[in-house]
Amino acid sequence: MIDHSRRTFLKTSTVAAAGFTLFRSLAREEVFCADAPSGASAKIVPFPLTSVRLAPGIFKEQSEINARYLDSLSVDRLLHSFRVTAGISSSATPYKGWEDPTCELRGHFAGGHFLSAVALASATSGNDVLKRKGDELVSGLALCQKKNASGYLSAYPTDLFEHLVQGIPVWAPFYTYHKIMAGLLDIYVLAGNSDALQIAEGMARWVGDYFTGISAEQRQRMLRTEYGGMNEVLVNLAALAKKNRYIEIAHLFEQPGFLDPLAERRDELQGLHANTHVPKIIGAARMYEVTGDRRYRQIAEYFLEEVLTARNYVIGNTSLDEHWKTPPGQLKGTLGWTNAECCVAYNLMKLERLVFGWAADARWMDEYERSLFNCRLGTQNADGMKQYFFPLAAGYWRAYHSPEESFWCCTGTGVEEFAKFTDTIFFHKGGEVFVNQFIASTLDWKEEGLLIDQVTQFPSEQGTTLKIKTSRPIARTIHVRIPVWTTDAVQVNINGRALEAVADPGSYLAMRRVWQDGDTVSISLPMELRQEALPGDESVAAVVYGPLVLAADLGPGPADGPSKMIHSGETVPKNLPVADQLPKVSVASGIGPDQWVQTLSKSELRFKVDGESAKYELMPMFQIRDQRYAVYWQTGNPNKRS
């Protein structure tokens, strides 16, 4: 989340009115994952969240920790600033940090991320306690909106939006407005709260009125201030309410100065704030899905490809000090504490699963897996607290927010992420099933009378097993991702018999047959060591095992105290020491990690490196808890040491 004193300024030009088509009749949840544009062939879409359940394993454990944190929060306290703003008395103790009654972002979590998270938790795990909390919050918000009369709903007065009009510095009023609208749509779609849709429509009407009388030039100046996914949420609302008016309002949030270079495949991202801009591309992706305008698709595909190849770190996330600070492909010298804001990973993954739906390209699910295992899993502690930055310089550690005094943007996207691990495991295209992620879970496709148990301890286990349950023989194609990191030794057995041919790594294996009850598909996914250089610096590399980034354990870090737990809205611990030098290994170029990394245990995922001046134990980054760690290594020619 960018601080208002460090806003990014973009080139501006006038917005072009784009045409759009009528909405197809879709189920609520389908609208969100978006059907194909009108007239196109069937799209690959996720199953409804209620059809997939996590089975015991690391993901279920993490989602339960997250749910307990959500349940610890009080609806009255969350509503406090909304009520005060609407002139309704509140005796509740407000939360602090970015929810403090003086913070210009208040309401982003309280009325936004929290609603999304409880809606997700309710749909993915049947958590009725959280659903009731969400409904209670919606009722409270409805009263506040009614009191405001104009459709406006926020935890701060409209003054902050006036500041935007007048060019007075202000943090990000529309960013917060987006979170609230998104939370309302989530609880409508995922938990059936139809009042929430009405409230969101009122909010959208207020936005339309707000821009009346504001010139295109002035509007473009105002859009230099971070506005989250306003375009996305308005497109989603248009599709759900089947009202084109909201598409027109969504177009008001487009910035040709940002989108045009991307449409022409030019990377002009240097200097931009990462988490301000990824949501704009998610909005463009949704605009393609709803209107069918392929220019938006080209923008989204180019942007995603460029960020992932030229600007990403090995963990599957991007940015330094929240920005893209270098030319493409040049990340040399960018390792620090303030790498890879967690929200950015959340948003990139959201974009990846949308783009995946257009052509089922395995690449996007490989990238999704990389982020999921390396920079989402592991960023929550045992109490449900989340990280903000993801330090990538050597010698740093994970730091978390406190339960009631921080409420960062990354707290918000974190509680959503950890409530929705089931949303990308299985997709379908008509009657065909896609198994995208290897997570212990059950798909219960009631309409088709088909149940698939995915039984796995992945990544401790190098593979997964699908057990089919069906009341009758059923002809279906099941596609399984053969990840790009596996080897040619991958094997697939159906009922114990090996398939003669298996798809190449980095693609999907299609298995078409008449499935019988009790059929079992076992897929071995051998992992091997490889190294990935830091873009722009061949001498700096990370070690990866299968999908897992390995980190060197550098000894105990702060287990408690202000360096570990941040009791405020600050996002970096105070008095941070200078980072260590990267650990050094003496290897000549062209020498693979199997020559310098020793595997101690495949099931425990433990490795060892004899460095130049020390020996290191390595483990998957997601298993690093309180230790100081190093992800990158300084490699060098052993005959030519510096």
Residue 104 vs 135, nearer CB to Zn ion: 104
Select the residue interacting with Zn ion from 70, 247, 269, 409 (CB under 5 A).
Answer: 409
How many angstroms separate the Cα of 194 from the Cα of each of 34, 107, 116? 20, 21, 15
Q: How far is the CB of 274 from Zn ion (least distance, A)?
A: 10
Q: At closest approach, how far in Å is the CB of 348 from Zn ion?
A: 12
* Interface segment toward Zn ion; rule CB under 5 A; list 127-135, 405-413, 440-448, 559-567: 405-413
Residue 274 as a binder of Zn ion (CB under 5 A): the answer is no
* Contact by Cβ (8 Å): 231, 246: no
Distance between CA 267 and CA 276 in Å, rounded? 16
Out of 118, 141, 343, 480, name the contact with Zn ion by CB under 5 A.
Answer: 343
Q: How far is the CB of 389 from Zn ion (least distance, A)?
A: 9
Q: Closest separation between CB of residue 592 and Zn ion, Å?
A: 36
DSSP symbol at 177 = H
Among 162, 71, 203, residue whose Cα is nearest residue 125: 71
Which span sits near Zn ion by CB under 5 A: 286-294, 406-414, 482-490, 569-577? 406-414
Select from 459, 312, 496, 309 the least CA-distant residue to 390: 312
Q: Which is nearer to Zn ion, 110 or 543 (CB)?
A: 110
Closer residue to Zn ion (CB): 106 or 297 = 106
Identify the burial level of 549 via C-beta atoms within 10 angstroms of its C-beta, where 0-12 means exposed, 13-18 middle and 19 or more buried.
buried
| Binding status of residue 410 toward Zn ion by CB under 5 A | yes
Backbone angles phi, psi at 255, to 5 degrees: -120, 100
Q: 405 or 553, CB closer to Zn ion? A: 405
**Helix/strand/coil (H, E, C) string of 594-629?**
HHCCEEEECCCCEEEEECCCCEEEEEEHHHCCCEEE
CB of 401 to Zn ion, least distance (A): 11
Which of 1/239 has CB closer to Zn ion?
1
Least gap, CB of 109 to Zn ion (angstroms): 11
462: its two tokens: 């190098």
In three-state secondary structure terms, 388 is coil
122 vs 225, which CB is nearer to Zn ion? Answer: 225
**What three-state secondary structure class fits 77?**
helix
Please choose, out of 278-286, 311-319, 401-409, 568-576, the segment that lies near Zn ion by the rule CB under 5 A.
401-409
Q: Is 197 in the site for Zn ion (CB under 5 A)?
A: no
Choose the stretch contacting Zn ion; rule: CB under 5 A; options: 339-347, 394-402, 576-584, 609-617: 339-347
598-601 and 606-610: which strand pairing?
antiparallel
Shortest spacing between CB 447 and Zn ion, in angstroms: 38
Q: Which is nearer to Zn ion, 413 or 522 (CB)?
A: 413
Query: Which residues 572-601 are close enough to bind Zn ion by CB under 5 A?
Result: none
Stretch that binds Zn ion, among 97-105, 115-123, 286-294, 334-342 (CB under 5 A): 334-342
Q: Which residue is nearest to Zn ion (CB)?
A: 343
Contact (CB, 8 A) for 204 and 237:
yes
**Can you tell me the distance from the alpha carbon of 84 to that of 82, in angstroms, rounded to the nearest whole number?**
6
| Cβ proximity to Zn ion, 98 vs 596, nearer residue | 98
How many Cα atoms occupy the beta-carbon half-sphere of 277 within 13 Å?
Answer: 29
Exposed (0-12), middle (13-18) or buried (19+): which is 33, by Cβ within 10 Å? Answer: buried
Q: Are 620 and 548 in contact (CB under 8 A)?
A: yes
Smaller CB separation from Zn ion, 392 or 410 = 410
Q: Is the separation of the CB atoms in 625 and 398 below 8 Å?
A: yes
- Which region among 7-15, 182-190, 277-285, 403-411 touches Zn ion (by CB under 5 A)? 403-411
Residue 292, CA atoms < 13 Å, CB-side half-sphere: 12
Binding map of Zn ion across residues 447-466, x = CB under 5 A, - = no contact: --------------------
Task: Indicate the helix (H) or strand (E) that contains 196.
Answer: helix 194-210
User: With respect to Zn ion, which residue has the nearer C-beta, 138 or 409?
Assistant: 409
Neighbours of 68 (CB within 10 A): 10
Residue 275 CB, shortest distance to Zn ion, in Å, is 6
Binding footprint of Zn ion on the chain (CB under 5 A): 1, 341, 343, 409-410
